[in-house]
Structure 1
Amino acid sequence: MKIKILGTGCPKCKALEQNTREALQELGITADIEKVQDINKIMEYDIMFTPGLVVNGEIKVAGKVPSKEEIKEILRQCV
């Protein structure tokens, strides 16, 4: 599984990364996590607000920080 956290390093972006890492650990899923902080690369995903969560090339969340439980549900659907 490949996960990208889209964001410039703001507190919400860091919270999304933390929730995602915890969700992965609790589910026992191994994933490659990449933080995308370059605004030009973020714009390639056509999201208007950060943070963004991309799983296996698909935008799953944009503009909010989902709870750890919401992320777990997203991840379950992607395995």
Structure 2
Amino acid sequence: MTEAMMAFLPWAFARFGLTELTADHFNDNPSSGRVLRKLGFVKTGSALRGSAARTAKAPTSSYQLRRADLVAPASRA
């Protein structure tokens, strides 16, 4: 998944003229946070959020990746 996203992100920024992307993950799924950080996303905050699968709100972490901060795949090792 990470390798596919490394190829997708530069394309998405260019194709859609994006300046930034945001993402969140539930804190009880730390693997998603590791993937986001590996892709160059930076943590920007946290909040309580719900989802269709949860009966109560749960802690989440929010991340941002700015186009200007997009790192070439070779330098993400």
TM beyond 0.5: no
Give TM-score, length-normalised by structure 1.
0.31
Give TM-score, length-normalised by structure 2.
0.31
Query: Which structure's relative contact order is higher, taking Cα pairs within 8 Å and 6+ residues apart?
Result: 1
Determine which structure has the larger strand proportion and give its number.
Answer: 2
